[in-house]
């Protein structure tokens, strides 16, 4: 199934476009305009001559031009007729955002639109979904207005989700975290395009560096697992699987008509295939950003902690020591000697290395420069508390510089409000993952190490 015309269309018809700002079709059309979409945009509404500044068409058949993507936002009973019209107009791909299909028991209606898509060889995503987003091509079919849902910048993480609500939440968080998005695909009931089609597309997509999945069910388990077997060899894959309990599985079925399957069986197979497994939405975010930004593979489990706050360093040490596959590095005698020559007199020369509350960018730089040469150090956690006198823009820039040059995994912890958040965004947008707590940072490093070990075993 070719999804490229859907993710990078040269022309889009919005069927159900409206001048009424409360209508889903209005929001979708406006999102394309706000995103600066440079292709051709065709509103379709049989009751309107114009939608905003654009000419409106009674039917997609009236447009008379090639259409790569039709986004359908009309009541469910009207969708089959419009799908037939799309087929006759030789529309290449269709997204049905409308609900009212198998998720409420209207299975026959859903099967009907799938048959129409197959008959006319149209790729179909949905129904009951948010659709797709591609910041590079400025495609945005989400019916959530930009003032309510932040839009991420261009990046390397692609996200596929059955649930539009989960997907939109993650998009909002990604936009606030400062690391970017490659593709977003919300596929809802998966009447035609399903997990297999989307995963296959993202594996081949050159702009996707990390694949993140939220799954409620797997429609074609055998094909999916065959694809998954080779998927993680190509790219890191982070998965959050819903339906851990019987109650959750039942909720998933009523939500997107998904058959959840045995949770533990799925988890065992995912681990075998090298997937990074998230337990909740926070994990999904933490793991995605370290795998997307970390170009250096983890070659060992010994972590150096550098901090400008003693208590924060202790918490980071606890977090590392509490993680089963990580441990605190023991600095070599040569490292301790070098540190004594350059570090402030109040600094401890052991791990965690406490630079004291007045540490500035130069002191941090000296510490990292010394420790990166220590063969006992495999990874770094840098605690940067920007409330202290010496922590400012220069520190953020210094940490980014070392992150991109030392050849060892490095992440940061920065905890605080507005001033801290501005520097956190600065660092993350430049490729340094920043975490809000020692526990989340340690968990992220742990998963990076697991994935690095999986890749080494599969060479």
pLDDT at 230: 84
Decide: 107 and 114 in contact? Cβ < 8 Å: no
Which among 383, 373, 384 has a CA at the least distance from the CA of 329?
373
Answer yes or no: is 318 within a domain: yes
In a shared domain, residues 355 and 288: no
pLDDT of residue 247: 55
Residues 301 and 439 in one domain: yes
Residue 2 half-sphere exposure toward CB, CA atoms < 13 A: 11
226, 270: one domain: yes
CATH number at residue 77: 3.40.50.720
pLDDT digits (tens, 9 = 90+) for 315-345: 999 999 999 999 999 999 999 999 999 887 6
d(CA 23, CA 239): 33
Q: Is residue 143 in a domain?
A: no
DSSP label of 235: S
Contact partners, residue 426, CB within 8 Å, separation at least 6: 178, 393, 396, 397, 400
Q: In the listed set 70, 100, 129, which residue is the last one of a domain according to the structure?
A: 129
388 burial class (0-12, 13-18, 19+ CB within 10 angstroms)?
middle
Beta strands 237-241 and 210-215 are: parallel
Which runs of consecutive H residues, i.e. helices, occur in 307-378? Answer: 310-321, 333-342, 361-371
For the four alpha carbons of 366, 372, 376 and 379, in that order, the dihedral sign comes to positive
Question: 289 and 303: one domain?
Answer: no
Domain containing residue 287: 149-293
Nearest to 215 by CA among 240, 245, 234, 235: 240
Number of independent structural domains in the chain = 3
The answer to whether residue 309 is domain-embedded is: yes
Residue 139 lies in a domain: no
**Residue 57 DSSP code:** B
Q: Which residue's structure tokens are 């970390």?
A: 294
Position 114 in a domain: yes
Q: What is the pLDDT of residues 188-225, one digit of tens each?
A: 999 999 999 999 999 999 999 999 999 988 889 889 98
Q: Is 276 found in the same domain as 339?
A: no
- Helix (H) / strand (E) containing 161: strand 154-161
Verify that 312 and 424 share a domain, yes or no.
yes
Q: 56 and 28 in one domain? A: yes
Q: Is residue 405 part of a domain?
A: yes
Which of the listed residues 76, 100, 129 is the one where a domain comes to its end?
Answer: 129
- Please check whether residues 287 and 315 belong to one and the same domain: no
Compute φ and ψ for 260, nearest 5 degrees: -70, -40
Same domain as 409, residue 394: yes
DSSP codes of every residue in 9-52: -SEEEEET--S-TTSHHHHHHHHHHHHT--SEEEEE-TT-SEET
Is residue 212 a part of any domain in this protein? yes
Q: Are residues 305 and 256 in the same domain?
A: no
Domain match, 283 and 306 both:
no
pLDDT tens for the chain, residues 1 to 459? 899 999 999 999 999 999 999 999 999 999 999 999 999 999 999 999 999 999 999 999 999 999 999 999 999 999 999 999 999 999 999 999 999 999 999 999 999 999 999 999 999 999 999 999 999 999 999 998 888 888 999 999 999 999 888 989 889 888 877 778 999 999 999 999 999 999 999 999 999 999 999 998 888 988 998 898 888 888 999 999 986 655 544 554 444 444 445 778 888 888 888 999 999 999 999 999 999 987 678 899 999 999 999 999 999 999 999 999 999 999 999 999 999 998 876 667 899 999 988 899 999 999 999 999 999 999 999 999 999 999 999 999 999 999 999 999 999 999 999 999 999 999 998 999 999 999 999 999 999 999 999 988 877
353: domain CATH number? 3.40.50.261
Q: Which of 267, 293, 319 is the last residue of a domain?
A: 293
Residue 138 in domain? no
Q: Are residues 415 and 450 in the same domain?
A: yes
Burial of 52 (0-12, 13-18, 19+ CB in 10 A): middle
At which residue do the structure tokens 């979409």 appear? 37
């Amino acid at each position: 199934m070719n999804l490229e015309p859907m993710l990078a269309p040269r022309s889009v018809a919005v069927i159900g476009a409206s001048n009424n700002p409360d209508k889903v079709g209005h929001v979708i059309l406006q999102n394309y305009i706000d995103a600066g979409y440079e292709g051709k945009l065709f509103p379709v509404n049989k009751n309107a001559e114009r939608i905003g500044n654009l000419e409106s068409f009674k039917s997609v058949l009236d447009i008379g031009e090639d259409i790569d993507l039709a986004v359908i936002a009309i009541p469910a009973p009207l969708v089959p007729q419009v799908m037939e019209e799309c087929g006759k107009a030789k529309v290449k791909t269709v997204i049905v955002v409308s609900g009212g299909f198998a998720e409420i028991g209207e299975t026959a209606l859903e099967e009907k639109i799938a048959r129409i898509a197959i008959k006319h060889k149209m790729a179909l995503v949905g129904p009951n979904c948010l659709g797709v987003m591609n910041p590079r091509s400025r495609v945005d079919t989400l019916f959530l207005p930009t003032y309510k849902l932040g839009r991420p910048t261009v990046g390397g993480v692609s996200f596929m989700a059955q649930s539009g609500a989960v997907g939109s939440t993650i998009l909002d968080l990604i936009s606030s975290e400062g690391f970017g998005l490659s593709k977003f695909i919300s596929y809802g009931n998966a009447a035609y395009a399903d997990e297999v089609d989307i995963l296959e597309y993202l594996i081949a997509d050159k702009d996707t560096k990390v694949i993140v999945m939220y799954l409620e069910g797997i429609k074609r388990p055998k094909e999916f697992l065959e694809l998954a077997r080779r998927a993680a060899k190509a790219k890191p894959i982070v998965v959050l699987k819903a339906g851990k309990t019987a109650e959750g599985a039942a909720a998933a079925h009523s939500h997107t008509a998904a058959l959840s399957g045995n949770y533990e069986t799925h988890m065992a197979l995912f681990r075998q295939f090298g997937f990074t497994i998230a337990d909740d939405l926070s994990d999904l975010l933490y793991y995605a950003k370290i795998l997307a930004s970390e170009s250096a593979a983890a070659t060992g489990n010994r972590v150096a902690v550098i901090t400008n706050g003693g208590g924060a360093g202790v918490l980071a040490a606890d977090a590392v020591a509490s993680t089963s596959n990580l441990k605190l590095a023991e600095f070599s005698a040569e490292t301790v000697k070098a540190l004594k020559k350059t570090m402030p007199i109040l600094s401890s020369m052991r791990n965690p290395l406490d630079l004291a509350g007045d540490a500035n960018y130069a002191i941090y730089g000296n510490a990292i420069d010394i420790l990166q040469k220590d063969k006992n150090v495999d990874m770094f956690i840098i605690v940067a508390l920007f409330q202290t006198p010496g922590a400012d823009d220069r520190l953020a820039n210094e940490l980014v510089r070392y992150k991109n040059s030392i050849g060892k995994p490095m992440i940061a912890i920065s905890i605080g409000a507005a001033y801290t958040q501005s520097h956190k965004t600065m660092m993350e947008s430049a490729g340094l993952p920043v975490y809000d707590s020692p526990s989340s940072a340690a968990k992220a490093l742990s998963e990076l190490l697991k994935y690095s070990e999986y890749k080494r075993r599969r060479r």
